[in-house]
Amino acid sequence: MSSKRHGTTRQMSKAFLSSPTGIISGLILLGLTVLVIMGPNGFGDQATVSDMARSSEGPSADHRWGTDALGRDIFTRTLAATRLSILYASAAVFFAMIVGGLVGGLIAAGGPRVRKVGGAVIDTMMGFGDILLAVVVVAIVGVGAKGAVLAIGVAFTPHFARFTYSLVDSVMVRDYMSAARVVGVSKSGIGRRYVGRNVADSLVIVTFTTVAEGIMAMSSLSFLGLGIQSPQFDWGQMLTDGVKNFYLNPYAALVPATLILITGLAVNLFGDALARAVNPVLWSERPSLFRSKLRRNRAKALAMTPEITIDPAMETELRKGRP
């Protein structure tokens, strides 16, 4: 068992490392993790101390991307904002995964009436836009970081509920589930041994890729003034301040917007590479193997093609253009 598990892990690692996008996105996420650990305290006073004498300056030797309206270094401040931008978004997505996973699993395991009513409620909630639903929740619970995390968590919960419902529903109709019921396995045992193990990997990967959407949603709420409030700051709040003084120094808005874009792309690409790595069906479907197989088939087809010989006299007539 241990050797088989070791071989599977090695195949997964090999499949992941065969993806250039997975390696690049992994390095980017590693750098972002370092920034999250460092936080604002790792950049000294440049991220927080203002200098009104250098308000809204352009790029210079002292400030490579200029300063904001209060004279704070934009580049350092953007890096320092990585911690709250990623941590709060991750917390919101984790909340949605826990609540949505439980709700979707319970609905899928319920009776026909529970499945019908629960599915209708999930579809109704998914009909609202994520940001619109988040704004409604913020209006109820209050503006601020905690309200934004709860709002995004509630807005993303229906998506996880629907996804978990579909996964559990597909597992419940398998033959081994019927066999487990026949031999008398308890409902908790079925849920833990068969359902949980079959949906956990897919749910984790979807949670990971949804973090990118969570970062966008958190930044959007902060951009609207409903998320993180001063003296705390994240990319969305910096984007709001940068747009107000865009004509004085456009980098105040472009730098945080670029980091939001890079982070979102890195998370999505890493999630795609991770999904391929944990799927045994795709381990042998790498482009290099496709190309080598195509070359072998082409050589085999050429070897089986018969040679066509032309009579010299006919070749002479054809070159002269005669029929």
The Cβ of residue 286 has, within 10 Å, a number of other Cβ atoms equal to 15
**Cβ atoms of residues 222 and 228 within 8 Å:** yes
Whether residue 51 is contained in a domain is answered as yes
Domain residue limits at 211: 2-292
Whether residue 272 is contained in a domain is answered as yes
Whether residue 254 is contained in a domain is answered as yes
Q: What is the pLDDT of residues 118-166, one digit of tens each?
A: 888 888 888 777 888 888 898 888 888 889 999 999 999 999 988 888 8
Q: Which of 86, 198, 56, 203 is nearest to 149 (CA)?
A: 86
Whether residue 191 is contained in a domain is answered as yes
Q: How many CA atoms lie within 13 A of 168 on its CB side?
A: 24
Q: What is the pLDDT of residues 72-101, one digit of tens each?
A: 888 888 888 899 899 999 999 999 999 998
pLDDT band, very low/low/confident/very high, at 16 (cuts 50, 70, 90): low
- Say how far apart CA 38 and CA 29 lie, in whole Å: 14
Looking up residue 140, the CATH number of its domain turns out to be: 1.10.3720.10
What's the mean per-residue pLDDT of the chain? 77
Average pLDDT for 7-28: 75
The Cβ of residue 102 has, within 10 Å, a number of other Cβ atoms equal to 14
Average pLDDT for 297-301: 52
pLDDT at residue 280, rounded to an integer:
56
Percent of the chain's residues with pLDDT above 90: 14
Say yes or no to pLDDT of 34 above 80: yes
Choice between 60 and 307, residue whose per-residue pLDDT is larger: 60
- Say how far apart CA 157 and CA 45 lie, in whole Å: 39
Number of H helices, E strands in the chain: 14, 0
Question: Tokens for 273?
Answer: 């590479």
Say yes or no to pLDDT of 234 above 70: yes
Count of the separate structural domains present in the chain: 1
Say yes or no to pLDDT of 309 above 60: no
The Cβ of residue 115 has, within 10 Å, a number of other Cβ atoms equal to 15
Residue 148 exposed, middle or buried by CB count within 10 Å (0-12, 13-18, 19+): buried
**Cα Rg for the chain, rounded, in angstroms?**
28
Average pLDDT for 93-120: 86
Q: What is the pLDDT of residues 179-230, one digit of tens each?
A: 666 666 666 666 666 666 677 777 878 888 889 889 989 988 888 888 888 8
**Cβ atoms of residues 38 and 276 within 8 Å:** no
Whether residue 94 is contained in a domain is answered as yes
Say yes or no to pLDDT of 20 above 50: yes
Average pLDDT for 262-289: 70
Residue type, 197: R
pLDDT band, very low/low/confident/very high, at 8 (cuts 50, 70, 90): low
pLDDT at residue 91, rounded to an integer:
93
Phi, psi (deg, nearest 5) at residue 73: -65, 125
As beta bridge partners, residue 67 has: 73
pLDDT at residue 156, rounded to an integer:
93
Say yes or no to pLDDT of 268 above 90: no
pLDDT at residue 94, rounded to an integer:
93
- Say how far apart CA 254 and CA 58 lie, in whole Å: 13
pLDDT band, very low/low/confident/very high, at 288 (cuts 50, 70, 90): very low
Whether residue 309 is contained in a domain is answered as no
Whether residue 304 is contained in a domain is answered as no
Phi, psi (deg, nearest 5) at residue 128: -80, 145
Q: How many CA atoms lie within 13 A of 215 on its CB side?
A: 28
Whether residue 305 is contained in a domain is answered as no
Say yes or no to pLDDT of 252 above 70: yes
- Say how far apart CA 170 and CA 109 lie, in whole Å: 11
